[in-house]
Each structure stands twice: as structure tokens, then as C-alpha cells.
Structure 1
Amino acid sequence: MNLTDATWTDIRDLETDLAVVPVGSTEQHGPHAPLGTDVLTAEAVADAGLERFDDDVVRAPAIPVGIAEEHRQFPGTMWVSPETFRSYVREAVESLAAHGFDRVVIVNGHGGNVDAVREVGATVTRAGDAYAVPFTWFEAVGEHAAEMGHGGPLETALLRHCEPDLVREDRIDEASAGSAERWGEWVSHTNLAYDSAEFTDNGVVGDPSAGEKERGEELLELAADALARLLEAVAERDVSRPDRR
């Protein structure tokens, strides 16, 4: 059940302890894809995963601003500090737990959030407030994951499938021509770049022209199926903490 659409009495009467919190970012995704790409894709995967899951789940509103200062040179990008983001997500999870929804999957759509949402899950779980785990959709799409990039084939494909009106199709060639082949500038297994503008002129990494709508449909199927399996595992898991050795 979507919290945005529900009343408090609807939520009171639910018999579930399971919740999903989508998190993303508001940041540049090249000249062809919207700033809200990471939010839109996280929400699409969350909703598709819930459709495949048999039991009730509370679906929280998406958290739309994340850890994205690496895109600060591109207008429209918003960001908060890692500390602020971790606190916000943690407190959002804790508020759900206060109402009994204390098994939480954080559905993430932004690479810059990955470490932070894992830390949040560990913090709230070890404190005993809830059991929370992160799920990043583009890590759960099999062999496609190797081509993730940024505003590249995977995100473009998923947008073409889920939000086709938001993809600027007349800018795809421009996006491809100005893209970088990989994220960062690497020497001795070390990324020398801190900001994306250091290695990509237009903010794109990877070739968005390879992001066909049909591929987006496949990506959504893979990610949603993986999320449904995770929800099943979280719902059935013994979440009590191990005893001291």
C-alpha cells in the first residue's frame, strides 16, 4: 500500500511488518535524460517488485535527493552531505518501525548512495530499531550490470520503457557523442577524479543509443523479480541478533 495515497486508518488496519523505501537522486543524466532519473527508476522497480510479491507491503514516498556532489558542475543537480543523507534515511526507516513496519527494504537507484544505505541498514539493525537492507536495482540485472554507466544504456533503456515521454530522443546522438567510456580516471586501481565533469563533457558515461525500450522491459523484469525474492527472504528471516560469542 502506498503511503501517499492511504489514510492513517488504512495503514493502521494493515497486517504486515514489511515496508519499502525508494531512494534516488536529483542530478544530471546528460542532455537526454531527466534530473529525476534515479528517483523514477527506483520507484518503477519498487512498484514492479511489489506487484510480484503476494503479501501486503507499505510503500513509502521516495527520497529524491541523495549523495551527488560529484555532479555539482551540472545545473539542476542537488545534493546533501553523506551524514545528512544517512540521518534522513535512518530516521525515515525508524519512523516506519515505530508503527510496526520494522522489516524494511531500501530500494536504491543511485550509485552514490550505495555505501550510505548499506551503513544505514547496519545501524538500525544493530540498534534493534528495525531490520533494514538495501537493494540497488542495477546490481540485480545479471550481465547487464557491467554496462551501468551514467545516463548510459541501462538507465536510458529503463526510462524508455517506463517514462518514454521524459527521454529527449532528439538528443540521443549528442549524448552518445559526448559520453565517456567509463566512470573516472584510473591509475594503479585508483580513481584520480572526484567530479564527473573531470572525465565527461556532457555528464554521460556509456552509450545511451544502446538503451533500447525492449532492453528496458527486460531490465525491469529482472530487477523486479530480484526485489520480490528479496522481500520474501526479508519477510521470512529470523531477524533476532546473534548472541555474544
Structure 2
Amino acid sequence: MHLEETTWTDAEAAETNLALLPVGSTEQHGPHAPLGTDTLDAEAVADAAAERYADPVVVAPAIPVGIAEEHRQFAGTLWTSEDTFRSYVRDVVDSLASHGWDRVAVVNGHGGNIAALREVTARIVRHDDAFAVPFTWFDEVGDHSAEMGHAGPLETSMLRHADPETVHEDRLEAAAANGSDGWGDWQGRVNLAVDSHEFTDNGVVGDPTESSAALGEELLDRSATALCDLLDAIRDRDPEPRTTE
């Protein structure tokens, strides 16, 4: 059940305590993929999991702007502060919980959101009337997780399967040629780069020519299966925080 497509009376009648909150980013993804890549991918995973899950699941509208200032030199990138992002996520989860959907998986598509989501979901569990957990789809695709870059083969493959009309396939070779092999500019274990333009000319990290719709289908299946397993785990979870004597 997608809230933006549902009447309030039907939402009130929904017999479930499960909700999915997609979060992404509006940021550069090279010359071949849209600014909304992270949001589109997160929505695709949430939609697939909700469709295949045995019980009803509420799917909230996606949060499309995240922690992405590292891409600020590329036109169209939007970002918010970590404090604002955490507060916004917490408020949306609180809204969901107020209607009885108090077991919430935050389905994330952007690496820059990970630390903030880990912190805010822990705060929700400790202090609010909800149980929330972060789920980053590209961490849940088996050995493929090691291939994650930025606008590289994983994200591009997901789009080529789930939203193929958004990918400029005629630009893949140029995207690969002017991209970077890895994230950052490293001295030992220290990353000297603050923003992505310092190590990639066009915003790409990885080789998007290695992407395919077939790989995207596999990635979507793996991540949606993992998300369904997570829903099983949180469905009966007591949202009340533990107390100590």
C-alpha cells in the first residue's frame, strides 16, 4: 500500500504494523544516470519487497534529498545537513508510528546517508514509540556489494532493469572513460579528498559499461529478498526500549 496513492479511509483500514520508508538523494550520477538515481533505486527495492511480502506493508513516500554535499560542484545536486536529515527521518517515522505502523525499515539508496540513519534509528528505538532499522540495498546483494562505486555497474544496472528510460546508454563509454576507478584520494588509510570532484572528472566511480538489465534484475531480487527477511525479523519485535534495573 503506497500512501501517496491511498485514501485516508483505506489507510485507516490497513491491518499491519509494517512500513517501509525509502530514502535517497538528489545528486549527480555522471552523464548517463539521473540525479534521482539513489531515490529511484531505493523505491524499486521497497516496491519489490512490499509486492512480494506475504502480509500488507505500508510504503511511505520517499525522502529525495539526503546528505550529499560532497557532490556540490556538480549541477543539480541538492543536500541537507545531517541534523536536518536525521530530524526529518525521525519525524516521518513518528508519523507512521502514530497510525500504528511502528515497525519501520528505512530503505536507503545513498552511501552518504548510512551513518546518519544508523544514529537516528538507534535514537528512535531508545526514545520513541517505534522500532526502526536502516536497510541499505547495495549492502544486501552478496558478493556484488564489493563492486559498489558511484554511478557504476551496480546502480546503473538497477536502473537499467527498474527504470530503463532514465539511463542514457549512449553515454556509458564516455562515462567510464572520464570516471575514477575508486572513491577518494588516499594517503595510506586517510582520504585527502573532501568532495567527489577531486578524484572524478564526471562524477563516476566504477565502470558503468559493465552494467546490464540482467544484473539489475538479480540485484533487485537479492535486495528485495533480504528486505523481506528483515520484515520478518521486525514484524513481531517489541518496539519498547530495554530497561535496566
TM-score (norm 1): 0.98
Match of 2:30 in 1: 30
Q: Which amino acid aligns with 1:174?
A: A
Deviation of 1:99 (Å): 1.2
Match of 1:18 in 2: 18
What is the CA deviation profile of residues 1-48 of structure 1, one whole-angstrom value per residue up to 9, with x for unaligned ones? Answer: 110011111111111111110000000000000000000000000001
Q: Which amino acid aligns with 2:234?
A: V
Question: 1:236 aligned to 2:217?
Answer: no
What is the SS of the residue equivalent to 1:133?
strand
Question: 1:107 aligned to 2:128?
Answer: no
Match of 1:227 in 2: 227
Q: Which runs of 5+ in 1 are unaligned?
A: none
Structure 1 segments (4+ residues) deviating >3 Å: none
What is the SS of the residue equivalent to 2:63?
coil
Deviation of 1:237 (Å): 2.2
Deviation of 1:188 (Å): 2.2
Match of 1:212 in 2: 212
Report if the CA contact (8 A) 2:131-2:237 is conserved.
no
Match of 1:160 in 2: 160
Report if the CA contact (8 A) 2:152-2:206 is conserved.
yes
What is the SS of the residue equivalent to 2:119?
helix
Match of 1:134 in 2: 134
What is the SS of the residue equivalent to 2:85?
helix
For 2:232 and 2:140, the matched residues in 1 are separated by: 16
What is the CA deviation profile of residues 100-138 of structure 1, one whole-angstrom value per residue up to 9, with x for unaligned ones? Answer: 111100000000000111111111110032100000000
For 1:51 and 1:17, the matched residues in 2 are separated by: 16
Q: Which runs of 5+ in 2 are unaligned?
A: none
For 2:129 and 2:243, the matched residues in 1 are separated by: 17
Aligned CA RMSD, in angstroms, stands at 0.9
For 2:144 and 2:167, the matched residues in 1 are separated by: 20
Match of 1:172 in 2: 172
Match of 2:88 in 1: 88
For 1:53 and 1:213, the matched residues in 2 are separated by: 23
Match of 1:43 in 2: 43
Question: 1:5 aligned to 2:37?
Answer: no
Match of 2:67 in 1: 67
Deviation of 1:239 (Å): 3.3
Deviation of 1:64 (Å): 0.3
Deviation of 1:143 (Å): 0.4
Report if the CA contact (8 A) 2:129-2:240 is conserved.
no
Report if the CA contact (8 A) 1:53-1:232 is conserved.
no
For 1:168 and 1:36, the matched residues in 2 are separated by: 14
What is the SS of the residue equivalent to 2:184?
coil
Report if the CA contact (8 A) 2:94-2:128 is conserved.
no
Percent of residue pairs bearing the same amino acid type: 62
TM-score (norm 2): 0.98
For 2:116 and 2:199, the matched residues in 1 are separated by: 24
